[in-house]
């Protein structure tokens, strides 16, 4: 009797439709209902070559290091001036504008 119940349970499970894919692929498979929030998209960033063109336009200097801070969405650029002093410049990755120390 137990075997019969177990076999019936397995057959019932096999008859069920497969589960829908989870995650973003499953969410993108169906159209969004009206008023339903969309998946957040990555913000667009200014290409590094544009930022470097702005840095070089200020004064040709030696670029020592370039970092991209994903959390703050900013470029961190270390440059060396003619006297050998190292300066750190910050640029907003969304707008390409230079940032001051307060931002």
How is residue 94 written in tokens?
A: 């969304």
pTM for this predicted structure: 0.56
Q: How far from 31 is each of 19, 21, 25, 28, 82, CA to CA, in Å?
A: 18, 15, 12, 7, 58
Question: What does the domain layout of the chain look like in residue ranges?
Answer: 48-99
In sequence order, which ranges of the chain are alpha helices (DSSP H)? 2-15, 24-28, 48-58
**How do residues 5-39 score in pLDDT, each as one tens digit?**
665 555 555 555 555 555 555 455 566 667 666 66
């Amino acid at each position: 009797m137990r075997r019969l119940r177990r076999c019936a349970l397995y057959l019932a499970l096999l008859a069920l439709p497969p589960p829908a894919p989870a995650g973003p692929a499953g969410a993108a498979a169906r159209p969004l209902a009206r008023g339903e929030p969309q998946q957040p998209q990555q913000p667009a960033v200014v290409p590094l070559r544009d930022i470097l063109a702005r840095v070089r336009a200020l004064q040709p200097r030696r670029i020592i290091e370039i970092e991209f801070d994903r959390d703050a969405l900013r470029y961190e650029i270390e440059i060396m001036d003619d006297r050998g002093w190292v300066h750190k410049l910050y640029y907003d990755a969304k707008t390409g504008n230079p940032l001051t120390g307060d931002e």
